[in-house]
Amino acid sequence: MKHLISYKLFENKSPLLKLKDNIDIDLINTIRSLIDKGKILEISCGNGSDAIELDRLGYDVIATDLNPEYVNNASKVKCIQHDTRNEFPFNDNEFDLTYSRLGLHYFTEDELNKIFKDLSRITNRYLVFTVKLTNNIETGKIIFNKEFWENLTSKNFKIISSKVKTGLLYDIESTWLEIVAEKPTNKLNENKLWHKTIPQFLSWFKEKSNNYFVMLDTETTGLPSSGYEVQLTQLSAIVFKYDYITNKFNEIDSYNEKIKLTDKSIDLMKDPNNSIKKVLSFNHYGEKGIKFGDEKSTLNDFYNWLKQYNNPILMIQNASFDMRYLNIRNPIIKFNNEVIDTKMIIQLYYLPLLQKLAETNIEYKELIDKIGTSSRDNGLISSSMGKIGPALDINMIGYHDSLTDCRITIKMVEKIIDFLKKYQHEDITKYQMLRIKSIK
């Protein structure tokens, strides 16, 4: 482990950087506003002036740089020679805050995706960085726009602020982006329904009925595994108040917006091997007479619409999928509502109860055979809406339109709750544990 020494590189001319002895005063103040003590990592530290100042202020600082001349300088701040493109030699969640001043725009998009994933691994709380948006100096920097950096960051962090600033560097007018982000403590605020008996689950669900429920569904241009950038194409939600005694979800309000394709999606569709056209047809996209909104504006509008219901509980079939795109397609908007995944209700209560009853009742055995198994359920009974809806005698006309799917899912939940109430004294532990083991 080597050490750093600071020396003056810049004159104090830049209203952006506010440099003094090459210390970025704005950056230091931002870091101090986030944490007043703790362990900090600086990436691509250069001569280490910021790291040394933070050390002087009482932080536990480690720095990295590829240049051995910087690493071999002498000071009390720990520094290691490291190529940022390689995995960082640090433990998971080791640093309370990780930062970089103008040190991340040398890399390709693929390299940055790998770098930011590893930053998420080693960072426990905050990420702060500045990158250039214009390149008026021949430095070999790779210049991406603001939207790129926001999308990149939001894959692993929640953006707190994103600010474009202008100022002088080497007496040349330049433009920077400063992003401050926080690592989510729980990427999905989702209720884990494991290890509850049927009566315990019903009691828990009854307690939740004092809240507004919002059944939510989205349609997209593909899946996370599709191999291309996926966007939202429809966002729908219905607000309900739930009466546990009658087991009825009473509709209060609804939201439904179709979303126009981005330039990136349109460009991807030019590839004859791309599957977007097939997905759009599957999801009833392109109906005439329908207004299509901008993706980011729609998310912002939906966020404001949702707030009027005082932090409602979101009910979503396969919640991790929908929440993923809600939280990355407009990096400034983040949904942290409590979430109930209706797929978990199917997997941990409805299907285990069917299996238990099938031990002595041939009708339930035949129903299980009709539903069938699925590789997406690790070879166990399918929890797909397309299979469970018909098993519950629900009309599936319009399935894969997100507003229709919201109504189908609510009807599905009502029927499952009735079924659980009827057989609530059955012990489903055996089959529930098999499902939990497969989910893990």
CATH number for the segment(s) 198-439: 3.30.420.10
Residue 309 CA to residue 312 CA, distance in Å, equals 6
Residues of the chain with CATH 3.30.420.10: 198-439
pLDDT of 367-394, one tens digit each?
A: 999 999 999 999 999 999 999 999 999 9
Quick one: how far is CA 301 from the chain centroid? 19
Rg (CA), the chain: 26
pLDDT band at 185 (very low <50, low <70, confident <90, very high): low
Cα diameter, the chain: 84
pLDDT at 440 over 90: no
CB atoms within 10 A of CB 280: 19
Question: Which tokens in the block code for residue 339?
Answer: 């979430």
Full DSSP string of 119-140: HHHHEEEEEEEEEES---S-S-
pLDDT band at 42 (very low <50, low <70, confident <90, very high): very high
Residues of the chain with CATH 3.40.50.150: 2-182
User: N- to C-terminal Cα distance for the chain?
Assistant: 39
pLDDT of 292-349, one tens digit each?
A: 999 999 999 999 999 999 889 999 999 989 998 898 887 777 788 899 999 999 999 9
The pLDDT of residue 6 is 36
The pLDDT of residue 12 is 36
* SS3 assignment, position 204: helix
Q: Are 229 and 148 in contact (CB under 8 A)?
A: no
Q: Are 21 and 6 in contact (CB under 8 A)?
A: yes
pLDDT at 186 over 60: no
Report the C-alpha dihedral over residues 265, 226, 153, 49, rounded to 10 degrees: -110
Q: Is 109 exposed, middle or buried (0-12, 13-18, 19+ CB in 10 A)?
A: exposed
Question: Which tokens in the block code for residue 421?
Answer: 């109430």
20 against 349, higher pLDDT: 349
Domain 2-182 has CATH 3.40.50.150: yes
Full DSSP string of 354-418: HHHHHTT-HHHHHHHHHH-B-GGGTTSB---HHHHHHHTT---TTTTSHHHHHHHHHHHHHHHHH
Residue 44 CA to residue 6 CA, distance in Å, equals 14
Span 180-184, mean pLDDT?
86
- Lowest model confidence (mean pLDDT) among 325-334, 408-417, 418-427: 325-334
- Sequence-separated (6 or more) residues with CB below 8 Å from residue 291: 258
The pLDDT of residue 4 is 42
